[in-house]
Amino acid sequence: MHYTNLSKAMEFTGERFTPECVREIWYEHFHRYVLAGELVTGKSVLDAACGEGYGSAHLARSANSVVGVDISKEAVDHATERYSADNLDFQLADVCKLPFEHNQFDCIVSFETLEHLEDQSGLLKEFRRVLAPDGFLLISSPDKAEYSDRRHYENEFHVRELYRDELEALIQEQFPAYRLLRQKLGFHSAIWSGEDDPRIVFQQSENSTISVTQSPAHEAMYYIAVCAASEQCLPDLGAGLWLFDDAQESVYEHYLHEIRKNMSAGELIASLERQLEELKAAGSGSPQVQSHGPWWKRLFRSS
């Protein structure tokens, strides 16, 4: 795998992820492709709505061949220039009107695409057309209940977000067999099967009571669906839980940095409040300001 022009990055507008993003969003997006990379070994893969191209490049490390397509010419040109491998190709294409033959790919990967489109049924129909009869689809989408409703958040680039039951109904129009994985960020990004697995134990404390379960008590932020024409065509997922982080533990380190910063700010505020009380106690006399300068100058020096 060859990466060229690594210093040249696409501008991050919020519409599509770029690998220069850090911490939480980096964990979420890379983790999906890392999981996909484990499932596509030796297969012909279509990365639909490939964006910047980082995911297609990762899949090409294990797949036999990868074609990344996107409707953005800027994204395709950037990906072609930045990532190079004999088994990797980028093409300009509308994912709802793919320029490929029937049954051409062993696997289709399309992460965070559905919510950007109005014709979601048409997208899955087109995926089914170009997917081999024994192939499988990996597709992800945010859960509207958690991603938007609970957080009172609106993503300006999303056309139609789906609740879980809507996503499952949509998948079943074209793919009778599917497994629904869940994803949410902790200090790791976690993807889990949602099915009770005796090999996996989660412990959670609530109201001084410890509960033990085979899946997290929290709702998922994203769903990742593994879809196929029949149960026999679904890939063997193996584990029921996948965790992902980076060697620098960047999310955890950022958290610790913010905690230390807040603690320092709290100590400074407490010191200023003590000095203010001393000035008030001094009454109308000349305030005894310490020799290292007034509090407001020290405030700006410490920020």
pLDDT digits 0-9 by tens, 96-145: 999 999 999 999 999 999 999 999 999 999 999 999 999 999 999 999 99
The DSSP H or E segment spanning 241 is strand 241-244
Helix-helix angle 250-281:295-302, to 10 degrees: 180
Q: Where are the alpha helices (DSSP H) in the chain?
A: 24-39, 54-59, 73-82, 120-130, 144, 164-172, 250-281, 295-302
Residue 14: per-residue pLDDT: 61
- What CA–CA distance (Å, rounded) separates 20 from 7? 10
> Contact 177/229 with Cβ under 8 angstroms?
yes
- What CA–CA distance (Å, rounded) separates 156 from 145? 17
Q: Which of the pair, 90 or 200, is modelled with greater confidence? A: 90
249 has pLDDT over 60 = yes
299 has pLDDT over 60 = no
On the CB side of 14, how many CA atoms lie within 13 Å of its CA? 5
Task: Return the residue matching tokens 């964990």.
Answer: 27
Average pLDDT of the segment spanning 235-255: 77
Q: Tell me the pTM.
A: 0.71
Q: Which of the pair, 303 or 193, is modelled with greater confidence? A: 193
**Cβ atoms within 10 A of the Cβ of 76, count?**
21
The two structure tokens encoding residue 255 = 């958290």
76 has pLDDT over 60 = yes
> Contact 197/214 with Cβ under 8 angstroms?
yes
**Cβ atoms within 10 A of the Cβ of 279, count?**
14
Q: Which sign does the torsion angle of CA 142, 148, 153, 158 carry?
A: positive
160 has pLDDT over 70 = yes
- What CA–CA distance (Å, rounded) separates 93 from 100? 10
pLDDT band at 204 (very low <50, low <70, confident <90, very high): low
- What CA–CA distance (Å, rounded) separates 27 from 245? 6
Q: How far lies 128's CA from each of 28, 102, 269, in Å?
A: 26, 9, 61
Q: Tell me how many degrees the CA angle 281-285-288 measures, rounded to the nearest 5.
A: 70
Instruction: Specify the 3-state DSSP secondary structure of 232.
Output: helix
> Contact 31/181 with Cβ under 8 angstroms?
no
Residue 277: per-residue pLDDT: 87
Task: Return the residue matching tokens 């000035």.
Answer: 279
